Amino acid sequence: MGNQATCNSQDYAGISETEAKLLQNVFAGLASRSPGRTMDKKTFLEYFDFQGMFGERIFKAFDIKKNDLIDLEEFMTGIARFLNGSQTEKTQLLFQMFDLHSNDQVDLEELRTMLYSMLKHEGLKSSVSRQASGVASNPNISVDVSTPIKKTTTNSNEGTSLPDQKKPLTLNIDPNDGKDWDPLPSPGKPKEFVEAEKVDDMVRSTLDSQREDPETMMAENLIEHTLTNYAKGKDYLTFREFQDWIQGTPQILRCMEFQFRAHVFKKGIKPRAGHLRKRGKTFKNMVTRYCVVQDGFLYQFRSDEQMQTSNPQNAIFLKGLRVKAGTSKADIQNHGITLESDVLSRTFYARTAEEKKMWLGWLTVESKTETLEDEYKRGEKVGEGRFANVFRCQHKMTGRDYAVKVIDKSKIDDADKEGLRAEIAILRMAIHPFIVSMKKVYETKTEIFIVMEWLEHGDLFKEIVRRKFFKEDAARHVIQQLCSAIRYCHLRGIVHKDIKPENILVERLDDPYIRIFVTDFGLSQFARPREEMKDAAGSVAYMAPEMIDDATFTKAVDVWGIGVITFVLLSGGLPFYDSDEVKLMDKIVGTPVSFANPRFKNVTEEAKDFIRRTLEKDPKKRLTISQAMGHAWLQQMDAIIPLVRKKSIVPTHQSQR
C-alpha neighbours within 13 Å on the C-beta side of residue 412 = 20
- DSSP annotation of 146 reads -
What are the DSSP E strand ranges found in 175-313?
A: 236-237, 272-279, 286-294, 297-301
| Cα–Cα distance list, 594 to 309, 523, 615, 623 (Å) | 78, 29, 11, 19
Contact of 211 with 193, CB cutoff 8 Å? no
Contact of 9 with 16, CB cutoff 8 Å? yes
Rounded to whole angstroms, the Cα distance separating 651 from 46 reads 37
550 noted as active-site residue: no
Rounded to whole angstroms, the Cα distance separating 486 from 492 reads 10
Q: Is 605 exposed, middle or buried (0-12, 13-18, 19+ CB in 10 A)?
A: exposed
Rounded to whole angstroms, the Cα distance separating 298 from 258 reads 25
Rounded to whole angstroms, the Cα distance separating 138 from 134 reads 6
- In one letter, which amino acid is 588? I
> Which residue(s) pair with 471 in the sheet?
none
Contact of 442 with 393, CB cutoff 8 Å? no
Contact of 527 with 492, CB cutoff 8 Å? no
Axis-axis angle for helices 556-571, 605-614 (nearest 10): 140
Q: Is 592 exposed, middle or buried (0-12, 13-18, 19+ CB in 10 A)?
A: exposed
Rounded to whole angstroms, the Cα distance separating 379 from 394 reads 7
| Binding site as annotated, residues for ATP | 405
Who contacts 283 (Cβ-Cβ below 8 Å, separation ≥6)? Answer: none
Q: Is 629 exposed, middle or buried (0-12, 13-18, 19+ CB in 10 A)?
A: buried
CA 261-263-268 angle, to 5 degrees, is: 110
Four-residue CA torsion sign, 404, 405, 407, 408: positive
Q: Could you please report the per-residue DSSP string of 56-124?
A: HHHHHHH-TT-SSEE-HHHHHHHHHHHHH--HHHHHHHHHHHH-TT-SS-EEHHHHHHHHHHHTTSHHH
Three-state secondary-structure class, residue 133: helix
- In one letter, which amino acid is 304? D
Rounded to whole angstroms, the Cα distance separating 314 from 1 reads 7
Rounded to whole angstroms, the Cα distance separating 486 from 625 reads 7
Three-state secondary-structure class, residue 345: strand
User: Which is nearest to 335 in space by CA: 294, 281, 274?
Assistant: 274
| Binding site as annotated, residues | 405
Q: Which of 40, 107, 459, 498 is catalytic?
A: 498
Task: Please give the positions annotated as active site.
Answer: 498
